[in-house]
Amino acid sequence: MEMLEVGDQFPDIELSIAGAGTISLPKDFEGSWGYIAFYRGGW
């Protein structure tokens, strides 16, 4: 996947949430702002 540039549409992604459930991006943030932090975990 190429790096997003200014004005690009965020691709549809479904992520598993720690603890349970999933989140669909960008659909679950439609109409509002959101911040996503990715943590790679301990090595």
Mean pLDDT of 6-24: 88
CA 40 vs CA 3, 18, 31: distances in Å: 19, 12, 28
Residue 22 binned pLDDT confidence (cut-offs 50, 70, 90) = very high
Residue-wise pLDDT tens digits, 32-42: 888 877 777 77
What's the pLDDT at 36?
77
